[in-house]
Chains A and B, each alone.
Chain A
Amino acid sequence: MSAVDDTNIDEILESEFKTPYAQRMMIHTLTFLVLIGGWELASFLGYLNELIMPPPSWIAFRLYEMFFVTGSIYWHFFVTMFEATFGFIIGVSIGLSLAITAAISPVFRRYWAPYAVVFNVTPGIALAPFIIAWFGFGWSSKIALAALNAFFPVFINVLTGLLFVDKDMTELFNSLRANRRQYFWKLQIPSSLPITIAGLKLGMTTALIGAIVAEFFSATEGVGILMQRFAFRLNMDGAFATLINMSLMGLTLFTIMEYMDYKVLFWRRHKRMEEVSAKRKARWTMD
Chain B
Amino acid sequence: MGSATSVDVTPAEMGASGSGEVVIEARNLTKAFTETVIAVQNANFSIPRGSFVSLVGPSGCGKSTILRLVSGLIDKTAGSVAVHGNEVNGPTGEIGMMFQKAVLLEWRTAVENVLLPTEIRGTITNEDKRKAMDYLHLVGLKDFEFSFPRQLSGGMQQRVALARLLQTGADILLLDEPFGALDEFTRERLNVELLRIVDGPEKTTLFVTHNITEAIFLADYVMVMTPRPGQLAKVIRVPFPRPREIEIEVTPEFQQLVAEVREVLGEFITGDDL
Contacts and interface: CB of A to CB of B under 8 A. Distances in A.
Q: Check A-B contact in the complex, CB < 8 A.
A: yes
Interface of A: 166, 168-169, 171-178, 182, 186-187, 190-191, 193, 266-268, 270, 273-274, 276-278, 280-281, 284, 286-287
10 A-B pairs with least C-beta separation: A281-B146, A178-B120, A267-B106, A273-B148, A168-B103, A277-B146, A172-B103, A175-B97, A267-B107, A190-B107
A286 B129 contact: yes
Interface of B: 71, 73, 90-93, 95, 97, 99, 101, 103, 105-107, 109, 111-112, 116-117, 119-121, 126, 129-130, 133, 145-151, 168
Contacts of B126: 286-287
A187 B116 CA distance: 11
A49 B71 CA distance: 78
Given A177-B120, A193-B107, A273-B151, 20 more contacts: A166-B103, A168-B99, A168-B103, A171-B99, A171-B103, A172-B103, A173-B120, A174-B73, A186-B120, A191-B105, A268-B150, A270-B151, A273-B150, A277-B109, A277-B147, A277-B148, A277-B151, A278-B146, A284-B129, A287-B126
Contacts of B119: 186
B31 to A, nearest CB: 16
Contacts of A174: 73, 91
A168 B116 CA distance: 15
A176 B105 contact: no
Contacts of B93: 177
A175 B120 CA distance: 11
26 contacts: A168-B103, A169-B103, A171-B103, A172-B97, A172-B103, A175-B95, A176-B91, A176-B168, A177-B93, A177-B120, A178-B120, A187-B105, A190-B105, A191-B105, A193-B107, A266-B107, A267-B107, A267-B148, A273-B147, A274-B151, A277-B109, A277-B147, A280-B109, A280-B146, A281-B145, A286-B126
B106, B117, B126, B133: most-surrounded residue (chain A CB, <10 A): B106
Nearest to B130: A286
Nearest to B128: A286
